[in-house]
């Protein structure tokens, strides 16, 4: 969708992860290395980021050139917070103040690039090996990575977990929670297991 905020054109582009949206502005927002903000404390001193993190539901912001990639938490809805994000961008630009503090630029730019799919894969695999699989192997199950796409992890459950009636609870309350806590770069976890092929499938 396209949002016209005053004389500033903002295009909102969805991504494969429903929690992430890219807001493209018709002018440069930040002329420098990509900068990533993961909390309100990091945003302090940067007027645009302060305004964005003041919006309920905004969880993370990556700013690059003319675009802002924003991740929200599960309680927020884009139709509600999207216009607020557009207004925050407009207000920050209209203020004439530097949008990103120089301190943030120098301190964060070198480490601000988003994690690559390979980096996410390595972190998630390490978590599977050290914590998740040892726990579920006691019940005859195992979980593995099917694919990493952007910041979405696609996983497969096998053994006792394939077709298990409690697989969804295991995924949501256990595996997904653990991944999000330990690998915050991940924005979505998707189970692509063929549960109908398990020994006790709960799909008919």
Q: What is the pLDDT of residues 54-84, one digit of tens each?
A: 999 998 888 888 888 888 887 789 999 999 9
What does the block give as tokens for 120?
Answer: 């996410």
CATH 3.40.710.10 fits 117-197, yes or no: no
Question: For 117-126, what is each residue's pLDDT tens digit?
Answer: 888 999 999 9
Burial class (CB in 10 A: 0-12, 13-18, 19+), 79: exposed
Query: Under a CB-based contact definition with an 8 Å cutoff, are residues 184 and 128 in contact?
Result: no
Alpha carbons 186 and 180: distance in angstroms, whole number: 6
* Fold matches, 2-111 and 117-197: no
Mean pLDDT of the chain: 77
0.85 exceeded by pTM: no
42 confidence band (pLDDT: 50, 70, 90): confident
Query: Under a CB-based contact definition with an 8 Å cutoff, are residues 52 and 82 in contact?
Result: no
Rounded mean pLDDT of 170-190?
76
Domain extent listing, the chain: 2-111, 117-197
Question: For 11-23, what is each residue's pLDDT tens digit?
Answer: 988 765 677 888 9
Alpha carbons 184 and 100: distance in angstroms, whole number: 23
38 confidence band (pLDDT: 50, 70, 90): confident
pLDDT at position 52 is: 94
Rounded mean pLDDT of 127-146?
83
What does the block give as tokens for 140?
Answer: 């005859």
3: which residues sit within 8 A by CB, 6+ positions away? 9, 10, 11, 12, 82, 83, 86
Alpha carbons 5 and 95: distance in angstroms, whole number: 15
pLDDT at position 160 is: 58
The CATH homologous superfamily for domain 2-111 is Scaffold protein Nfu/NifU, N-terminal domain (3.30.1370.70)
């Amino acid at each position: 969708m396209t949002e016209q905020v005053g004389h500033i054109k903002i295009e909102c582009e969805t991504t494969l992860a429903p929690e992430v949206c890219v807001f493209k502005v018709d002018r440069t927002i930040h002329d420098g290395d990509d900068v990533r903000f993961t909390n309100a404390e990091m945003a302090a001193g940067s007027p645009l980021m302060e305004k964005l993190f003041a919006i309920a539901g905004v969880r993370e912001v990556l700013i690059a050139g003319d675009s802002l990639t924003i991740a929200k938490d599960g309680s927020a809805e884009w139709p509600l917070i999207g216009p607020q994000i557009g207004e925050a961008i407009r207000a920050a630009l209209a203020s004439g103040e530097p949008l990103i503090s120089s301190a943030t630029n120098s301190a964060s730019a070198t480490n601000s690039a988003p994690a690559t799919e390979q980096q996410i894969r390595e972190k998630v695999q390490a978590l599977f090996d050290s914590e998740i699989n040892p726990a579920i192997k006691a019940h005859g199950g195992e979980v593995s990575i099917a694919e990493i796409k952007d910041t979405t992890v696609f996983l497969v459950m096998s053994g006792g977990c394939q077709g298990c009636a409690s697989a969804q609870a295991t995924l949501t309350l256990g595996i997904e929670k653990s991944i999000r806590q330990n690998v915050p770069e991940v924005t979505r976890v998707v189970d692509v297991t063929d549960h109908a092929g398990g020994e006790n499938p709960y799909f008919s």
